[in-house]
Amino acid sequence: MADAGLELDAGAPPDSGLPEARCPEGHPMGNFYGKPIVEVTINGQGPYEFVYDTGAPTSAADNDLRGQLPTGTSSIGVGGQVVTFGPLPFYDLDQSLRGEIDGVLGSDVMGGFVVTLDVKRERFWLELDRDEAALLACAHAQGAPSELEYLLDDYYFVPGHAEDLPGWFLLDSGASLGVLTDPIVDQLLAAAPRPYLENFYTPAAIGTFWARLLTVGRLEVGGLSVGRILTRSVPTRLIPAPRFSDGNPFLGVLPTGYLRHFLLTLDQPAGRVRLDPYADDPLEEPTSRYYAGLSLTRSLVAPAVVHSVLAGSGADAAGIEAGDELHRINGVDLSTVDPYAWPWALTSQSEGALLRLNLVHQGVAREVEVRTGNWLTSPDDPR
């Protein structure tokens, strides 16, 4: 018989005494041209700013830290965790990444953790085991994640689509731009023609190459698509990829332009990737670059020579033609500028910006103003 002095609350849930799951507070995460930046200590020294790069199998420090850091085994602290690692190699990362950075964290340091990148809140956190309840408590995400197994072959490969082409992506938090292989770009352009720019000189850690720049209608992984991603082409030989068991090709790199739309968890102990779209995210990349509309030839010697002009672009309206010599952009002589920067100097971050170009056309010097525009539209762009 029940104790008459004991009152029972029949409506109380059986686990009401347990604490509610909370979204992890995490640690601050910065941004370096779209790449995630985390603070690292090495043998208690620091903090240093390292790029967390899922596209890097090996970690490294910049040459600027040579002599400051130990050359043997080190204790690397990141996100409240400590990894014994060494020796840490040194490279000229400032040159390869085009900016001041202390180092790169790759899978050799981070591979034992469940790593969550929360771009929305500019936070990240590391765990030994995934706390799914805590992830679902992150109310700024939809709470409807897609999860899939990745293939690990030095790099993390996941299946997906570039527009309607099935294949495999290398998941790369260190890639600011989309990257698709030359054969895949050829197929996309044949299936759905669109404007593109040519001959972007690209010295990179994987090797030097000349790229085309275009907008891809959508990249999809796990049933989740992100639209209108700015993408460059790359020779297939520069990115190592295995033969995939389903026979589908290697597409290219899944960049931050895709990844930043999701609460991203790389569960490395379980070999799985979790993508939870942010609430109210349109899953479409905003236009961030506007173009004069001309491509240069493959030359690293000034003056640059115009290779082609996009029909209807600002360069077309200004009467620029293939074969014109380009000597200065906004008064800056190209002989004083790294050739890597030449095509990017023909872009702006605002639509309708005026670029002042000094050219020689059929032996006659001329100065023109070119208005930038959103000329690199995707096939499904309503314009």
Q: How high is the pLDDT of residue 11?
A: 47
63 within a domain of the structure (yes/no) = yes
Residue 1: pLDDT band (50, 70, 90) is very low
Residue 178: pLDDT band (50, 70, 90) is very high
Residue 375: pLDDT band (50, 70, 90) is very high
Q: What is the arithmetic mean of pLDDT over 148-161? A: 96
**Residue 5 reports pLDDT greater than 70:** no
Same-domain check for residues 226 and 328: no
- Do 180 and 188 form a contact (C-beta atoms < 8 A)? yes
**Residue 277 reports pLDDT greater than 80:** yes
Q: How high is the pLDDT of residue 96?
A: 64
Q: How high is the pLDDT of residue 214?
A: 98
Q: Can you read off the two tokens belonging to residue 332?
A: 């800056």
**Residue 207 reports pLDDT greater than 90:** no
Number of separate domains in the chain: 3
CATH code where residue 236 lies:
2.40.70.10
Q: How high is the pLDDT of residue 258?
A: 98
Same-domain check for residues 235 and 324: no
Q: How high is the pLDDT of residue 7?
A: 39
145 within a domain of the structure (yes/no) = yes
CB atoms within 10 A of CB 354: 14
**Residue 15 reports pLDDT greater than 60:** no
Same-domain check for residues 32 and 107: yes
- Do 284 and 228 form a contact (C-beta atoms < 8 A)? yes
- Mean of per-residue pLDDT scores for the chain: 92
Same-domain check for residues 244 and 339: no
Residue 3: pLDDT band (50, 70, 90) is very low
Q: How high is the pLDDT of residue 2?
A: 38
126 within a domain of the structure (yes/no) = no
Strands 262-267 and 165-171: unpaired
Residue of 63, 52, 60, 135 lying closest to 92 (CA atoms): 63
**Residue 311 reports pLDDT greater than 50:** yes
**Residue 205 reports pLDDT greater than 90:** no
Q: How high is the pLDDT of residue 284?
A: 96
DSSP letters of 288-339? Answer: --EE--EEE-S--SSSEEEEEE-TTSHHHHTT--TT-EEEEETTEEGGGS-G
238 within a domain of the structure (yes/no) = yes
Same-domain check for residues 108 and 155: no
Q: How high is the pLDDT of residue 4?
A: 38
Same-domain check for residues 226 and 151: yes
Same-domain check for residues 171 and 251: yes
**Residue 10 reports pLDDT greater than 70:** no
Q: How high is the pLDDT of residue 102?
A: 94
The last residue of a domain, from among 63, 83, 118: 118
Same-domain check for residues 143 and 253: yes
Strands 81-85 and 262-267: unpaired
Residue 100: pLDDT band (50, 70, 90) is confident
- Do 51 and 37 form a contact (C-beta atoms < 8 A)? yes
Q: How high is the pLDDT of residue 206?
A: 74
**Residue 377 reports pLDDT greater than 80:** yes
Same-domain check for residues 93 and 148: no
268 within a domain of the structure (yes/no) = no
Same-domain check for residues 143 and 254: yes
Cα–Cα distance measured from residue 255 to residue 250, given in angstroms and rounded to the nearest whole number: 14
Q: How high is the pLDDT of residue 67?
A: 86
With pLDDT > 90 as the criterion, what percentage of the chain qualifies?
83
Same-domain check for residues 320 and 239: no
Q: Can you read off the two tokens belonging to residue 6?
A: 């004991």
Same-domain check for residues 114 and 204: no
The last residue of a domain, from among 258, 279, 311: 258
CATH code where residue 331 lies:
2.30.42.10
**Residue 19 reports pLDDT greater than 80:** no
Lowest mean pLDDT among 99-103, 203-207, 328-332: 203-207
- For 319, the domain range is 290-371
